[in-house]
Chains A and B, each alone.
Chain A
């Protein structure tokens, strides 16, 4: 619960997941268009990219044999080769420089906090990522952190989904004229099909991961160079 609280300092509040670019483009302009974007584009993208990567990272962090530092990890040590692979794939799945930088900034911060608070697996992952120059996408960091905390895979994915949806609508509140009730209705609607999304995410192979939304990527690309912006991404 602590790791998915909005007060947990990952810096996610500074990012809008590309929403600000879509607002600037005039595409998302009110509660109705935000809801359509959430259900038609944002959630499907989560189900095909971040959630399956987090699930795979959680699995790999439990891994196959080995040690974390001097301690033996229950169920075997992490599969570091697989974690590196997931980090690289997670970066490749982000279609713009800005969205990559956002994910990696949040991922590194999450890892930093996990390392500070709990050490062990998070510290080892952090050291390997630094040494190997791995990117650390936020979803991979969340999967590793969840494993470190002993959270079941489903709980990790539910927390990630909640953080993504609530983060999007929190950003939307600053960009659009939305009331509290409308925001809570959007969050509830976004989480309504949670089990279905998680089932999809957990059923995909690496080859099936990925998304395609040129308009979202274009909006994010143009946001990179926008003269005025509230969010980093």
Chain B
């Protein structure tokens, strides 16, 4: 039976500067672990006890960070979209909003697309001017450990980012696994783990730090480039030749940025 699940989180800042969840609501398959305040960021783990998306599932995620609040949202394990046999595509709609003075880190583990799956993910990020964000969207080429590469049916992955109501970035992938694999091979990658990292902040020094991090990742065997799309918004695109390299690359990126973005110091998955 297909599920219709939702996850709603609203982070607010208290008078003492601590962030807390002013509101939370979720239904199966989502479960939210107890948040903890690491003296900088309220960290929340979102667990999907069913382990992934099944045919016809409809999921909705809404995260709001109010002014002055800092929220980190992660997942303890990879997301999965399983094999589907009928017409029922699984759909995940995510809407992330950050107010001026708010911080959101949204960095779930990679998405694994199983053979024959049909998955649509739509992510809309709305930032007020002065909001800060670290967002990671990463995709595995399949169940690589089993030798299953580029065998998914269809992926639609849409990312819309706006700042102050002005559109800043629209990416839209509509790819079958076979086509994605051909694209990767054309660019010299058999097994390509893809990540798009958005960094929104006006703090000085970030552009140089991101460029240095990108150069370091290229030296480590990844394809990587960073571009500045607005005074605040930078995008780092990363292609790693394996899952461990992707994890190492994202950990290295966090380490490189955390002196400038202290909210990154406490988060991240152990690698």
Contact = CB atoms under 8 A, between A and B. Distances in A.
A208 interface: yes
Interface in B124-177: 157-158, 160-161, 166-175
B237 A100 contact: no
Interface in B205-246: 211, 214, 223-229, 235, 237-239
Interface residues of A, number: 36
A199 B229 CA distance: 31
Contacts of A153: none
Interface string A42-75: 0000001000000000000000000000000000
A212 B159 CA distance: 10
A214 B239 contact: yes
A119 interface: no
A33 B185 CA distance: 12
Contacts, number: 90
B228 A41 contact: no
Interface stretch (A120-128, A182-190, A215-223): A215-223
B188 interface: yes
B183 A217 contact: no
A97 interface: yes
Given A40-B186, A214-B194, A221-B237, A97 B170 contact: no
A212 B171 contact: yes
Contact of B237 (A37, A40, A214): A214
B196 interface: yes
A94 to B, nearest CB: 9
B270 interface: no
Contacts of B228: 97
Contacts of A37: 186
B34 interface: no
Contact of A40 (B157, B182, B227): B182
A147 interface: no
A77 interface: no
Interface string A7-50: 00000000000000000011100000100110011000000100
B187 interface: yes
Interface stretch (A85-93, A138-146, A154-162): A85-93
B225 A100 contact: no
Contacts of A207: 158
A204 B214 CA distance: 35
Nearest to A37: B186
A91 B167 contact: yes
Nearest to A87: B167
A26 B170 CA distance: 27
A40 B174 CA distance: 13
A212 B169 CA distance: 11
B229 A100 contact: yes
A212 B157 contact: yes
A95 interface: yes
B186 A212 contact: no
Interface of A: 25-27, 33, 36-37, 40-41, 48, 88-89, 91-93, 95-98, 100, 207-215, 217-222, 224-225
Interface of B: 157-158, 160-161, 166-175, 182-183, 186-188, 194, 196, 211, 214, 223-229, 235, 237-239
9 contacts: A26-B188, A27-B186, A89-B170, A92-B167, A92-B170, A96-B227, A215-B186, A217-B237, A224-B227
Given A92-B160, A215-B186, A225-B211, 13 more contacts: A25-B223, A40-B183, A89-B167, A92-B161, A95-B169, A95-B227, A95-B235, A97-B227, A97-B228, A210-B158, A212-B175, A218-B225, A221-B226
